[in-house]
Amino acid sequence: MDTVSGTCDARFEAVQTALEDRLASGEELGASIYVDVDGEAVVDIWGGFRDVSRSEPWTRDTLTNVWSTTKAVTSLAALVLADWGLLDVHAPVSTYWPEFAANRKECVLVRHVLSHTSGVSGWESPCSLEDIYRTDEAAARLAGQAPWWEPGTASGYHGLNYGHLVGELVRRTTGQSLRSFVATELAGPLGADFQIGARPEDWHRIAELVPPAADPHALDALDPLSPMYKTLTSPLAGPDVVHTEGWRRAEIGAANGHATAAGIARLLSVVSRGGTVDGHHLLSPETIDLIFEEQAFGDDLVIGVPIRWGIGFALPESQTFPYIPQGRRCHWGGWGGSVVCMDLERRMTVSYTMNKMGDGVVGSDRTAAYVAAAYSSADSI
């Protein structure tokens, strides 16, 4: 049986058991789970392997490309700017980025971007991965586009461009790139093992990603003019892109964050713990309240499943994420299953990273099992 290393409070034994079982069955290749309760690491475990040949054990400092869990940190960056008074989430994007008003986008608000309701969920075709690696040029392209639906009326997941949109707001208000801001103002001060992109000196720590089974005809039935098709195909990014130098060096604040589960939990525990972590104050209660202002609730135009969006994060609902209880909680995750959940009632943060991607549009059966185990354990305290 694959062993699990690290520490786990006896009260949260169900979380460790869930990981052990899935490593033993082969559902997992390698993974980490971290649960913080009001600053206490009640779960800090990892196990399995970071390569397909099973020659390199997963360690506490193993990094993975966490796909859209990156967006949780990008959202945190925007909320910190709001707390500093540099960014008003209810103001037009063009207040800070005048060029964005082009093509009838003068009424797009910052909160529309942060809730995936801006109408600008991707780039007009043709657009290649190399195009979006040129961050400034890619942002300028978005500024010039017309929205694909009426902003504010529905959500359409900003799959790869969320970080370009938020990142440009960061640059316009602070003079720093999103990558630099996260490193110097968030990850650095908190000692969190998280970075947008990956420094070459850390590449040896990155786990080999195992993609899910692909359906070569998955896009064939979609309307080429729909936001779903346009978002998913321009550019088309397959999972193997994470192993390339171009991807690792780029600033994709929507999808190329590299982190440990502990690093993600450390950063996002700022939300769960009321805005302050070990003396580092980042968010006021009023700014945290913004997260819970519902912006959209219904079938997402890009993902195609019901999602309830607050400002920056998804909020609990019973259909797509039934394993996250109702209440003052928020979350988001990445393609294949990585996740971070923030529970303000329990002051609990749950994070999970892995290298064997699960099937499904959002999350996986493993994601659900680990989060559910963390909640059942917390409820028994």
Q: What is the mean pLDDT of residues 180-185?
A: 98
Contact, 300 vs 70, CB < 8 A?
A: no
Pair type for strands 40-48 and 30-37: antiparallel
For the four alpha carbons of 79, 177, 336 and 351, in that order, the dihedral sign comes to negative
**SS3 call for 37:** strand
Query: CA torsion angle for 122, 127, 132, 137 (degrees, to 10)?
Result: -100
pTM of this prediction exceeds 0.85:
yes
pLDDT at 220 over 90: no
CA–CA dist 307, 316 (Å, integer): 9
The residue ranking higher by pLDDT, 2 or 340, is: 340
User: Which pLDDT value is given to residue 2?
Assistant: 56
The DSSP output letter for 57 is B
C-alpha dihedral over 244, 250, 254, 258, to 10 degrees? 60
Sign of the Cα pseudo-torsion (106, 111, 114, 116, in order): negative
Task: Report pLDDT for 221.
Answer: 85
Q: Which residues contact 156 (CB under 8 A, 6 or more apart)?
A: 116, 117, 119, 121, 148, 149, 227, 228, 231, 300, 301, 302
Tens of pLDDT, residue by residue over 106-151, are 999 999 999 999 999 999 999 999 999 999 999 999 999 999 999 9
Between CA 92 and CA 190 the distance in angstroms is 31
Interval 156-176: pLDDT, tens: 999 999 999 999 999 999 999
pLDDT in tens, 258-274: 999 999 999 999 999 99
Structure tokens that stand for 261 in this block: 């589960």
User: Quick check: 87 pLDDT over 50?
Assistant: yes
Reduced to 3 states (helix: H, G, I; strand: E, B; else coil), residue 242 is helix
DSSP H helix total and E strand total for the chain: 13, 14
Tell me, what's the pLDDT at 1?
40
Domains of the chain are: 4-379 (3.40.710.10)
Residue type, 324: I
Backbone Cα Rg of the chain: 19
pLDDT at 199 over 70: yes
Whether the per-residue pLDDT at 84 is higher than 90: the answer is: yes
Which residues make beta-bridge pairs with 253? Answer: none
Q: How far apart are CA 210 and CA 188, in angstroms?
A: 30
Pair 336, 30: CB distance under 8 Å: no
